[in-house]
Chain A
Amino acid sequence: DAKTTQPNSMESNEEEPVHLPCNHSTISGTDYIHWYRQLPSQGPEYVIHGLTSNVNNRMASLAIAEDRKSSTLILHRATLRDAAVYYCILFTGFQKLVFGTGTRLLVSP
C-alpha cells in the first residue's frame, strides 16, 4: 500500500486559513489523493480528492505539487467545527482505503 506522511497535529485560530500538508513521494501514476476527516465521536467524512490538478469544493481546496509527491489541503476559513483528524490517503479503484494516523487539527476561538 502506498504511504503518506502527515504531521501529527496542527493548530489554527478560528476564521484563519489552514494548510494541512501531506507527503507521498512513492505515489504512482494511477493513485488519486483522497482526504477524509473524522470529527470527534463520528465516522470519517469524505472531504476532497484529486489526481493532478488543483481541486476546489464547498468544503476545501486541494493543491497538488507538480511532481505529485506532495499535496496540501486548504481550509480557507477554519471554524470550530473543523477541529478533527484529517487523513491523506492514496487511493485507486479496486483497492482499499488505508488510513494512517492523520493530522489532528485544533482550532482555537
Chain B
Amino acid sequence: EAGVAQSPRYKIIEKRQSVAFWCNPISGHATLYWYQQILGQGPKLLIQFQNNGVVDDSQLPKDRFSAERLKGVDSTLKIQPAKLEDSAVYLCASSLSYTLGYEQYFGPGTRLTVT
C-alpha cells in the first residue's frame, strides 16, 4: 500500500515570497491533515479536511495560509507572503475517518526555510 506522498521535500524561499506544498493521501482515506512542526517541537495541526470539507482550521493563520482539497483527494497548502517564522517542516497526514479516532498516517514532510 502506497503511503502519503508529499512534494517538494525541501524548499528555500525569501521572506514575502509565496510557496505551495502538495499532498496525496492514502487511497480511500477520507480525512486529511496539515501539520506544522517547528524545530524541537511536536507537530501542530493547521487544518483538517473530511473529504473536501474543512473540519478544523482554528490554528491556521488565515491572513497568509490557505489550503484546499479538491475532489476530496489531493490537497495543497499555500503560504503567501511567507515570514521568517514560517520556517518549519510541513507534514501531511491522512486517516480513514476522524470520527472514530483511527490512526493517522504521515508523509515525509516538506522542510521550508524562509530567509
Contact = CB atoms under 8 A, between A and B. Distances in A.
Interface of A: 32, 34, 41-46, 49, 85, 87, 91-102
Name which of B33, B98, B101, B106 has the most chain A CB atoms within 10 A of its CB: B101
Given A99-B44, A100-B42, A94 B98 contact: yes
B106 A45 contact: yes
A45 B4 CA distance: 12
Contact of A46 (B42, B98, B104): B104
B106 A43 contact: yes
A66 to B, nearest CB: 22
Contact of B101 (A42, A91, A99, A100): A91
Interface string B39-50: 011111100100
Nearest to B43: A99
A96 B88 CA distance: 20
The prevalent SS among residues of A at the interface is loop
For the complex of A and B, 4 pairs with smallest distance between CB atoms: A99-B42, A43-B106, A46-B103, A93-B101
A44 B101 contact: no
B105 A46 contact: yes
Contact of A102 (B33, B42, B56, B108): B42
A97 B4 CA distance: 18
A44 B93 CA distance: 9
Nearest to B100: A93
Nearest to A48: B103
Contacts of B91: 43-44
Given A42-B109, A43-B107, 19 more contacts: A34-B101, A34-B103, A42-B108, A43-B91, A43-B108, A43-B109, A44-B43, A44-B104, A45-B106, A46-B104, A49-B103, A85-B42, A91-B101, A93-B100, A96-B45, A99-B42, A99-B44, A101-B42, A102-B42
